[in-house]
Structure 1
Amino acid sequence: MIVTRFAPSPNGSLHLGHAYSAVVAHDLARETGGRFLLRIEDIDGPRSRPELAEEFRRDLEWLGLEWEEVPAQSIRLASYEAAAHELLERGYLYPCTCTRAEIEALEPRLGSQGVVYPGTCKGRLLDPDKPAALRLDVDRAMADCGELSWDDALAGRQLADPREAGDVVIVRKDAPASYHLAATLDDAADGVTLVTRGYDLFPATSIHRLLQALLGLPVPRWHHHGLLLDDSGQKLAKRRGSPSLADRRRGGENGLLLAEQLRLRKFPAGISLASA
């Protein structure tokens, strides 16, 4: 049975790109009699706004989607702490006090997920009074795990390449877990068998596959769909003020019709789909 999920963060209203992602995940599950889950990813500190979770539910109802809601991330903190402690005890994590500005000053290389951390704090004596993140020692982890692969429903079999992203943050200075750790643990706990998300997260899957190997977690399939772009060629995003689903809903737009148009890839003027 296919189990998919839609996992928005309540740090801004949903937009058309979220609607497309939710419809894709919902339909992939329902086509096979599977389950479509809603998970609220609410551990982004003060940026997480509880009232937006209810707005998300109303948006999904407006689109005509049906779901099962699973526990939000804010009540899963113990599982993140336990996994991070295990990885730290086994020598796969190391503390890092570097700020973003300090890293950028070193002129590090750029990878598919942005700046690649150059390993400055690895093996360094650190100041216990400075806040520290925990980073994954990818070379050590890969040496123990060996070659790993994963399967994408659209792109086929992939050889995992975690080194391309460098030693990513696993526990943030300002949050109990990074996206990499929390999403990987949550998908395993929720029994997700098909991780459906935008193609912009394709490179992150190698890190998630490595974490699954280190923590003995089940390995799902992935489905990285294309992204909706605005008329400037940029993906729709909360931070760029893309029109919200809530505004469309309150303005009287027909959500059922909108969902059907998304299924048919008939998008509003100025919106296009970038193929994966």
Structure 2
Amino acid sequence: MSDTVPSLYRGRFAPSPTGRLHAGSLVAALGSWLLARHHDGTWLVRVDDLDPPREVPGVAQQQLATLAAFGLVSDEPVIWQSKRHDAYADALARLLDDGSAFECRCSRSDLAAVGGIHRTCVASDRTRPPAVRLRVPDGTRIAFHDGLQGEVVQDVDREVGDVVLRRADGYWAYQLAVVVDDAAQGITDIVRGADLLDSTPRQILLQRALGVPTPQYLHLPLIVDAQGEKLSKSMAALPIDDDAPLPALRAAWEVLGQPPGATAGLSTVDAVLQAMTREFRPDRLPKVSSVTFAAAHNKGVAGAV
């Protein structure tokens, strides 16, 4: 397979149904939507529902309803990862067959002495159900250019180790599912929060192992609270209000570094999004890894969440 992506821009937003969408979610969704529109491309929504123990019943539908209330609707039918087990199994079988992946019975406690970084199997219980890991050779270094954060380099062998693809409890790991689905959907550009920047090198490594294209990446600043905590882990992560989308849309627009006057006087979601599409400039995106919740509060996000 080619290691280059098609020229037609295809982006996506892929929330996990672990809670209602909050201000940080909206910034990531709006940012990815705006970049897709800026490039006359396609914007997709995918539900990353592969971790049942962490999922909240009914939240996935609530997330889709919230996106619709904000005018952010997938250009193609929504994909649910929970319906794609066969695709992940096929990819895993290929990696096992060619030796790129291997079974591992090491527990977290087995790897505690090495900081959780797996370089060789040291399982104390050989009867434990196995996980499956991607083999990361010594000296594996991945470098890529992020569209906002610049040059990123990671020594995957030393900083991450052999990557889990299927967990010991049988659930698919995020890294495998996201790579398989991005390739299947023809995603050319991945726009998401900077909390996932560290995951990108291992995804690139897995893309190479599977022979699928590597998209372009752009990691937006992460919205954090005054203590520097990601909103999904913070009491500040109150859900945004589906019944009053305009204040939150305008706040997210400003957090993305865009001029507040662009939507002045507009009173409908459609009109605001049309204005944002016209006025959006990627070169205004803030080149920082995070924005504090206090700063977002000053821009009105707190009043909208």
TM-score (norm 2): 0.75
> Counterpart of 2:70?
63
Indicate conservation of the 8 Å contact 1:160/1:209, yes or no.
Answer: no
Structure 2 CA distance for partners of 1:178 and 1:141, relative to 1, 3 Å: farther
Q: Is the 8 A contact 1:45 1:174 kept in 2?
A: no
- 1:155 corresponds in structure 2 to 149
Query: How far apart are residue 255 of structure 1 and its match?
Result: 0.9
Q: What SS is found at the alignment partner of 2:28?
A: helix
CA contact (8 A) 2:225 2:234 kept: no
The match for 2:133 among 121, 135, 140 is 135
CA positional deviation for 1:160: 5.6
| Pick aligned residue for 1:259 from 231, 249, 253 | 249
Q: 1:270 aligns with which of 282, 286, 294?
A: 294
Opposite residue 270 of structure 1, the aligned amino acid is A
Tell me, in whole angstroms, the C-alpha distance in 2 between the residues paired with 1:231 and 1:126: 43
Partner Cα distance (2:211, 2:151) in 1: 20
User: What is the deviation of 1:92?
Assistant: 1.8
- Alignment map for 1:188-203 (pairs within 5 Å): 188-203=183-198
In the alignment, residue 98 of structure 1 is paired with which amino acid? C
The gaps in structure 2 that reach 5 residues or longer are 1-7, 261-290, 298-305
TM-score by length of 1: 0.82
> Could you tell me which amino acid in structure 1 is paired with residue 149 of structure 2?
A
Task: For residue 39 of structure 2, give the secondary structure of its aligned residue in structure 1.
Answer: coil
Which residue does 2:165 correspond to in 1?
A: 170
Contact 2:131 2:166 in 1 (8 A): yes
Task: Give the C-alpha shift of residue 203 in structure 1.
Answer: 1.9
1:30 counterpart residue number: 37
> 1:127-165: per-residue Cα shift (whole Å, max 9, x none)?
3x42111112100795xxxx7543321134545632221
Are 1:136 and 1:168, in contact at CA under 8 Å, matched by a contact in 2? yes
Distance apart, 1:268 and its partner CA: 9.9
SS of 1:95's equivalent in the other structure is strand
Which of 226, 243, 249 in structure 2 is aligned with 1:231?
226
- Gap change, CA 1:162 and 1:173, over 3 Å in 2: same
1:187 alignment partner AA: D
The CA distance in 2 between the partners of 1:257 and 1:167, in whole Å, is: 44
Secondary structure of 2:18's aligned partner: coil
Deviation at 1:86, TM superposition (A): 1.1
Aligned-partner residue type, residue 181 of structure 1: L
The amino acid that maps onto 1:153 is: G
Q: Give the aligned residue type for 2:251.
A: Q
**3-state DSSP of counterpart to 1:74:** helix
Give the Cα separation in 2 of the matches to 1:155 and 1:232: 22
The residue type paired with residue 128 of structure 2 is: K
Question: d(CA) in 2 for partners of 1:268 and 1:234?
Answer: 9
Unaligned residue ranges in structure 1 (runs of 5+): 110-114
Tell me the residue number matched to 2:50. 43
Amino-acid identity (%): 32
Shift of 1:77: 0.7
Matches of 1:244 and 1:60, distance apart in 2? 16
Aligned residues: 254
C-alpha distance in 1, partners of 2:39/2:187? 14
**Do the aligned residues in 2 keep the contact of 1:43 with 1:175 (CA within 8 Å)?**
no
